[in-house]
Amino acid sequence: MKRYELNQSANKLSEYYFNSDIAAILNDIKNKEFAVALQKIQNFVSSNQQITTYIDPEIIGLKLELKLLENQLNAFDNEKIELEKLLSDFQHRHTIELGDIILEILRIRKLKFHSDKAKFEEAENDENQYRQQVESDKKQQKFDLSEEEKKELKKKFRIASVICHPDKVNDQFKEIAQNMFIELKKAYDENDLKKVSEILMDLEKGNYFKSK
């Protein structure tokens, strides 16, 4: 009975005779080399049970495309921050150099409408709002940097912002990253090269965040 079953199994395998391993096993069975055939069967099963990692080329392409998009997004973020800083620096300098003159103009404009209550209140409101802006800008600290120091500031800020950007860290670090990024951005807006350098050094040495 067992030999019959063996022959039946061998017949089923004969359609895979093109496989050299199976052909060798069938030849051993045919020659009644059962011990040898059994060993080859065990080796065949063992070798074909190993898991092979399949690398999908489409996934590789998508990962490369995602990386490209991430780089483009980082570039847009940097450009946005640069434009915001440029506008902030211009507004600060404009206020410091012309603020008092504009305030005097607004005061005279207000007096001009002393007999028109609606226009007087509007002019007074404009004067008060601008006065608050002038006072705020005068309190804001801005360090004077050389062109070389400005380049160093920009370079260090970009490196530090990549490390502690809230969108680039794991969820468990988001709150810490948010606070640190605000502190870093404030130092950058103030041209505080020393503070930006200190934050970058702490980030690089402390390894506070792990990239996604």
Q: Are residues 130 and 154 in the same domain?
A: no
Is there a domain that residue 65 lies in?
A: no
Q: Looking at the predicted structure, is the pLDDT value of residue 46 above 60?
A: yes
Q: What is the mean pLDDT of residues 194-201?
A: 93
Distance of alpha carbon 163 from the chain centroid: 8
Q: Which residues contact 163 (CB under 8 A, 6 or more apart)?
A: 200, 203, 204, 208, 209
Q: Are residues 176 and 202 in the same domain?
A: yes
User: For residue 185, with 0-12 CB atoms within 10 Å meaning exposed, 13-18 middle and 19 or more buried, which class applies?
Assistant: middle
What is the DSSP track for 107-168?
HHHHHHTTT-HHHHHHHHHHHHHHHHHHHHHHHS------HHHHHHHHHHHHHHHHHH-GGG
pTM: 0.58
Is there a domain that residue 174 lies in?
A: yes
| pLDDT classification of 52: cutoffs 50, 70, 90 | low
Domain termination residue (choose one: 121, 140, 159): 140
For residue 54, the model assigns a pLDDT of: 63
Q: Looking at the predicted structure, is the pLDDT value of residue 210 above 60?
A: no
Is there a domain that residue 22 lies in?
A: yes
Q: How far apart are CA 56 and CA 58, in angstroms?
A: 5
Q: How far apart are CA 91 and CA 98, in angstroms?
A: 10
Lowest mean pLDDT among 36-40, 89-93, 129-133: 36-40
Q: Looking at the predicted structure, is the pLDDT value of residue 80 above 80?
A: yes
For residue 40, the model assigns a pLDDT of: 82
Q: Looking at the predicted structure, is the pLDDT value of residue 1 above 50?
A: no
| pLDDT classification of 5: cutoffs 50, 70, 90 | low
Q: Looking at the predicted structure, is the pLDDT value of residue 212 above 50?
A: no
For residue 151, the model assigns a pLDDT of: 92
Q: Are residues 134 and 147 in the same domain?
A: no
Residue 96: domain span: 77-140
| Arithmetic mean of pLDDT over the chain | 84
Look at the chain and report how many structural domains it folds into.
Answer: 3
Residue at token pair 């990549």? 162
Query: Using DSSP, how many helices (H) and how many strands (E) does the chain show?
Result: 8, 0
Q: Looking at the predicted structure, is the pLDDT value of residue 149 above 90?
A: yes
In angstroms and rounded to an integer, the radius of gyration of the C-alpha atoms of the chain is 37
Is there a domain that residue 148 lies in?
A: yes
| pLDDT classification of 7: cutoffs 50, 70, 90 | low
Residues 106-129: tens digit of each pLDDT: 999 999 998 999 999 999 999 999
Q: How far apart are CA 203 and CA 179, in angstroms?
A: 13
